[in-house]
């Protein structure tokens, strides 16, 4: 088993599941949290992730297959997706791919799903399509405010990890998003993003 990533929430390993290349994601214990509460949170997240990864396939979104969930060990075995993280693509490709990311986020929102962690590290460009990962923080919600949180996080990611292309990448994202949800909803969500941003700035001053 090869360690791929040691994260704050989970450790990720590359392994084999019944002869197939697989990603093993283990949700880690948070020492500062009460153990019973911590177990409950980890169980909830692992189940939510497995459920949502499979559910969104019906909307035509590409996600890894879930091979196995071990609730007691807080483990999930996923199909290994061959390809490159969007984060590691060339600037030109990131800008192009942002439109597809916008479409995927649009499809999720249209179907009442908020992802909760839209970053360029949670998309893999594989040979045939763009695959979305990491549904541990996803939620069923139709609220504009929740959908705006997805957009606002992605904008922050572009601002910090892809600062030289943030303008082009963001408008590419919005183009894709608008094509799916329509202009009216897009404008509503974008307006809500600016409300959140203003609130953030105000909070910093105070």
80, interface contact from ligand ADP, Mg ion, none, CB < 5-8 Å by kind: ligand ADP
10, interface contact from Mg ion, ligand ADP, none, CB < 5-8 Å by kind: ligand ADP
Contact segment (CB under 6 A) with ligand ADP among 28-36, 102-110, 117-125, 184-192 equals 117-125
Interface size with ligand ADP, residues (CB under 6 A): 20
Query: In the range 52-81, which residues lie near ligand ADP by CB under 6 A?
Result: 64, 78-81
The residue (of 14 and 168) whose beta carbon lies closer to ligand ADP is 14
- Residue bearing tokens 């949180």: 149
Q: What is the DSSP letter of 60?
A: T
Query: In the range 123-142, which residues lie near ligand ADP by CB under 6 A?
Result: 124, 133-134, 136
The residue (of 29 and 198) whose beta carbon lies closer to ligand ADP is 29
Q: How many CB atoms lie within 10 A of CB 196?
A: 16
- Supply the DSSP string of 35-47, one letter for each residue: HHHHHHHHHHHHH
Residue 25 CB, nearest approach to ligand ADP (Å): 6
The residue (of 91 and 126) whose beta carbon lies closer to ligand ADP is 126
Distance, in Å, from the CA atom of 46 to the CA atom of 1, rounded to the nearest integer, reads: 20
Check 117, 134, 146, 150 and give the catalytic one.
Answer: 117
Residue 26 · residue 74 · CB < 8 Å:
yes
| Angle, helix 166-181 to helix 91-110, in steps of 10 degrees | 30
The first and second tokens of residue 53, run together, are 């990864």
Q: In the complex, which residue's CB is closest to ligand ADP?
A: 7
Q: What is the DSSP letter of 13?
A: E
Residue 67 · residue 24 · CB < 8 Å:
no
Whether 146 is catalytic is no
Distance, in Å, from the CA atom of 102 to the CA atom of 179, rounded to the nearest integer, reads: 9
The residue (of 134 and 150) whose beta carbon lies closer to Mg ion is 134
Q: Which residues contact 11 (CB under 8 A, 6 or more apart)?
A: 3, 5, 25, 26, 28
Residues in the site for ligand ADP, rule: CB under 6 A? 4-5, 7, 9-10, 12, 23, 25, 64, 78-81, 85, 121-122, 124, 133-134, 136
Q: Which positions are annotated as active-site residues?
A: 117
């Amino acid at each position: 088993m090869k360690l791929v990533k040691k994260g704050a929430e989970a450790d990720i390993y590359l392994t084999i599941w019944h002869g197939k290349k697989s990603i093993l994601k283990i949700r880690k214990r948070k020492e500062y949290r009460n153990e019973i509460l911590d177990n409950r949170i980890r169980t909830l997240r692992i189940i939510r992730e497995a459920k949502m990864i499979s559910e969104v396939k019906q909307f035509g979104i590409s996600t890894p297959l879930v091979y196995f969930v071990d609730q007691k060990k807080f483990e999930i075995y996923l199909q290994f997706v061959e390809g490159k993280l969007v984060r590691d693509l060339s600037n030109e490709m990131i800008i192009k791919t942002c439109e597809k990311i916008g479409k995927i986020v649009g499809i999720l929102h249209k179907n009442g799903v908020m992802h909760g962690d839209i970053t360029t590290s949670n998309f893999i460009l594989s040979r045939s399509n763009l695959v979305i990962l990491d549904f541990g923080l996803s939620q069923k919600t139709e609220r504009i405010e929740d959908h705006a949180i997805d957009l606002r996080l992605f904008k922050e990611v572009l601002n910090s990890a892809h600062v030289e292309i943030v303008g082009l990448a963001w408008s590419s994202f919005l183009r894709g998003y608008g094509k799916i949800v329509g202009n009216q909803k897009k404008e509503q969500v974008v307006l809500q993003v600016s409300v959140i941003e203003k609130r953030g700035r105000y909070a910093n001053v105070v």
